Amino acid sequence: MTFHLLISETKPSDQPRIEHLLDKAFGLDRRTKSSYRLREGNHTVPGLSLVVRDEDVGIAGSVSFWPLAIGEAGTPALLLGPLAVHPARQRLGIGLELMREGLARARAMGHRLVILVGDEPYYGKLGFRRLPHNLCTMPGPTNPERLLYLELEPGALAGVHGLVLPPHRHHGKDSAPLAVPEAAEAEKQHAEA
């Protein structure tokens, strides 16, 4: 099968088809995962929601990037995801190409750091590595083995630590009540994303 890959920005009219693709890829319970806490009330970064359209399956692949603020300093970062590829178009490199394009655009826009919750063997193909334990805390149960990062600028991770939040929920030191109590942190970090 020959497949021509054309990546373009998401249009508002794509949203119902993207939601259908995400339901197919991740199931109807996908919104219960901790990474969705970072999307609630948040908006994707303009120019960083991308799709591959296909005349046979509609949306063949989709990825979005979301703004984050980490720790008391509110260090800016991006959340990559969800990344989804239609089951009939998997193993064609669509997911990797969507990420390559999104990461290149993010770098060109001046973004420095990207995090995600996912499988290191797959995302490692683009340079993502496991985030050092206890460096960042997600706003819900997350398996620390699946919390990954990529520096778009060398040294971007230096000094980053604390609670990961969407910018509208970040209030510097006022964010402390949202933090997970220390005794419970280790238990929550070991839960599956």
Residue 175 pLDDT more than 50? no
Q: Regarding predicted confidence, which is higher, 58 or 70?
A: 70
Residue 147 pLDDT more than 80? yes
Residue 3 pLDDT more than 80? no
How, if at all, do strands 147-151 and 113-117 pair? antiparallel
Q: Regarding predicted confidence, which is higher, 7 or 183?
A: 7
Residue 63 pLDDT more than 90? yes
pLDDT at res. 169: 83
**Helix or strand or coil: residue 162?**
strand
**Helix or strand or coil: residue 164?**
strand
pLDDT at res. 185: 45
Buried b (16+ CB within 10 A) or exposed e, 53-77: bbeebebbbbbbbbbbbbbbebbbb
Q: Which two tokens stand for residue 31?
A: 């919104």
pLDDT at res. 45: 96
Question: What gap in Å lies between CA 115 and CA 173, rounded to an integer?
Answer: 22
Asked, as a colleague might, if the bond just before 82 is cis with ω within 30 of 0, I would say: yes
The pLDDT tens digits of the residues spanning 8-36 come to: 999 999 988 988 888 877 777 666 566 77
CATH of domain 7-189: 3.40.630.30
The pLDDT tens digits of the residues spanning 71-102 come to: 999 999 999 999 999 999 999 999 999 999 99
Maximum distance among all Cα pairs of the chain, rounded to whole angstroms: 55
**Helix or strand or coil: residue 181?**
coil
Question: What gap in Å lies between CA 106 and CA 153, rounded to an integer?
Answer: 11
